[in-house]
Structure 1
């Protein structure tokens, strides 16, 4: 009987012992001010463990506000899980390959006028336009073709001076030569001067002839397209061998490069008075034009003067021309990140329209370089990282990348051919962890 009483007392003590430890732990936790919250409902905060009254999940301890943070290490170990430690993992690996590659640059562009072949015809003397022989923009003219007739008191006076010398002082060759030169400087041709000397009668209306061959425009019309589109597709053809200025094909609505609201007539009119030096007409020689391309800045360094370009016309299927880089503009347009590249195109005999959308392709060799798959490098914005395998572990290492080609990245520095790296750098980054970072700027 006495022995049974002792056994019962011992069993009761053992039964109450866990409850006493739990009570002590709870008193200790409450004394330290530990708080618990629900991971899904942070508004639930208690001073003891338990369950969330909303979702039933176990409450977890909150990190105190004065808990020390984890300092960011300079060797990129903070990227790994757990932080600041090497991760041992049997992930797929690869290694850099040293080899040359052939790159192709595809450029979108547009056909524009050669600005060196644009000519302004000014008024060399003041007067009144009596007759205008060109009526609309993009009218074709040839060298020596009559453009307009003008009455000018200044020109009439110059003619009379030459006739007076020829009739009254024919032996004074120096004065006669000066009078002839004055008429030339005023725009008279040698044929007009010879006719004046032969007839002995001045003309009160003087004809002005085109000194150039091309297409005539009002000086206010902007003939050169200013924007090269990113892409377009259309079909069409040229109406003549000189480029069909101003017109586009039946799909012209797909491009926005033709001159906008260009007037059909000219600012000068018959009966209008003009002053010396006033720009009256513009003549553009379109026998040779420019192919103007926008090239991304990261590949523009591969283009030099003389680099071959294969040009295809989006409006003419299957038609290509061979040209070469004539000029790489050394400046950027404001707000753009593109370099403009020009190539010369012979317009005669080719289906070329000003404002026509074109595509240029350039092939070049990169030379021997170190290449890795693009997935093996992690771009952190300010730096690039690869994960190097060392003794079965992966350690992050900073690398400097260069060109990109066919899913590969050029490694300028940071890796060697003998290195083994993780094939997927993103796999080794713990995107789920929330690490409290210490404020190192204080």
Structure 2
């Protein structure tokens, strides 16, 4: 019995010694490491969490929880105190801005300086000295030589009166005037009287300076009259001409009436038929097309700086002289006309030019262009209210450089985000109350 008691005391002694050793070991203990996200992971040495890969942190011996480190401190802050980014804010500015409009145009001639040269007599073109369109001519330059029975008859009448009845001044003046109406010049009439011989080909001279355009003649409705009338008004020599004219009438009349045909030597023309047009380029226009959104901005007198691409560095300061609105295919636009000085050597008809028109906008609110956001159906800006940004619909006007005009939606007292794009990500949906 005594031996059993000794064995029991021995076992109890060993147990007490073991507990004391365990407590001592635990007190002195080894540091344990755990995962901040997965507390079930506990290791006796530093390492990585096998679940999420985070670094293990020391575990408190007394069970006070995870030790806070500098890397984990920000996770325990309230969300309303966390600053993700610092967004700049601005206020709309009310002012007047100098704006510019880029214009594209073309040099054209003044239609008030376009002159028509008609045929004053019927006849055949014997020689044509104007060969192509846009050929430059001068006043008094010979255009063509025409064989006309009417002119021959008028010359003979004047010579008969001068030689047979020189005392009848009134008839002589009437005969001279008739020749002038048929296109004869004073020099031609004086030379006729001096030589006493009529000319069977009569030269026609240009009454204008400029460039030839539309060197065409509209085909008359009937050529027979041009063939028969001269034959009736002339003598035997005119009958031969009339026969020749009659022979060519079928070929000439094959051209449809009213169709434009280019002048050629040997063609027959009738009285009043337009032969060509002369453009006087002493005054030219620069005609610009105004974009639809800028029609209301420009007005007569707005300054324009014209550039000539063919002549680098050549610029001309002018003003808009005339505005003409157009409506074509459901679109409104306008053309601006600028008069150019006659001594502009860089300006030629048909030349492409560019212009830059300037104007002053009305007093309005202006913000940076990046402060507004186009979401398709609306344009919005972000107003800061009660510490948060709220989208509001705005109406924009003219944009000048990096600034844009706000007509509706904001006031000078509003504070908005300087960059509206920064507040929107690819998955956001902006809900605008207004």
Q: Secondary structure at the match of 2:335?
A: strand
Match of 1:292 among 277, 287, 293: 287
User: Is 2:148 the counterpart of 1:152?
Assistant: yes
Matches of 1:127 and 1:387, distance apart in 2: 82
Match of 1:133 among 129, 133, 137: 129
1:250 equivalent in structure 2: none
Contact 1:219 1:279 in 2 (8 A): no
2:22 equivalent in structure 1: none
Moved more, 200-209 or 392-401: 392-401
2:272 equivalent in structure 1: 277
User: Is 2:307 the counterpart of 1:307?
Assistant: no
Matches of 1:434 and 1:390, distance apart in 2: 19
Alignment of 1:7-406 (within 5 A): 91-166=87-162, 176-219=172-215, 267-332=262-327, 334=329, 338-348=333-343, 350-381=345-376, 383-406=378-401
Q: Classify 1:387/1:177 alpha carbon distance in 2 versus 1 (closer, same or farther; 3 Å).
A: farther
Structure 1: which 5+ runs fail to align? Answer: 1-88, 222-265, 436-442
Contact 2:133 2:215 in 1 (8 A): no
RMSD after superposition: 3.2
Q: Secondary structure at the match of 2:212?
A: strand
Q: Classify 1:390/1:178 alpha carbon distance in 2 versus 1 (closer, same or farther; 3 Å).
A: farther
Matches of 1:195 and 1:155, distance apart in 2: 15
Matches of 2:396 and 2:183, distance apart in 1: 63
TM-score, normalised with respect to structure 1:
0.60
Q: Deviations over 1:106-153 (max 9, x none)?
A: 222232233333322221222101111223333321100111111112
Higher relative contact order, structure no. (Cα contacts within 8 Å, ≥ 6 residues apart) = 1
Deviation at 1:394, TM superposition (A): 3.7
Q: Secondary structure at the match of 1:202?
A: coil
TM-score, normalised with respect to structure 2:
0.61
Q: Secondary structure at the match of 2:370?
A: helix
Contact 2:326 2:333 in 1 (8 A): no
Deviation at 1:391, TM superposition (A): 2.5
Structure 2: which 5+ runs fail to align? Answer: 1-84, 218-260
Matches of 1:315 and 1:335, distance apart in 2: 34
Aligned length: 303
Q: Deviations over 1:283-341 (max 9, x none)?
A: 22223322222221222333323322222221222222222212222214557665322
Q: Deviations over 1:358-392 (max 9, x none)?
A: 22122222243210122332335554333333323
Contact 2:306 2:316 in 1 (8 A): yes
Deviation at 1:155, TM superposition (A): 2.6
Contact 1:125 1:277 in 2 (8 A): yes
1:422 equivalent in structure 2: 417
Matches of 1:337 and 1:94, distance apart in 2: 36
Matches of 1:383 and 1:196, distance apart in 2: 84
Q: Which has the higher helix share?
A: 2
- Which of these two proteins has the greater Rg computed from alpha carbons? 2
Matches of 2:150 and 2:212, distance apart in 1: 27
Matches of 1:329 and 1:336, distance apart in 2: 14
Contact 2:215 2:263 in 1 (8 A): no
Matches of 1:148 and 1:383, distance apart in 2: 68
Q: Deviations over 1:385-431 (max 9, x none)?
A: 33333323444433322111112221122221111123344555686
Matches of 1:280 and 1:360, distance apart in 2: 37
Deviation at 1:193, TM superposition (A): 3.3
Contact 2:325 2:333 in 1 (8 A): no
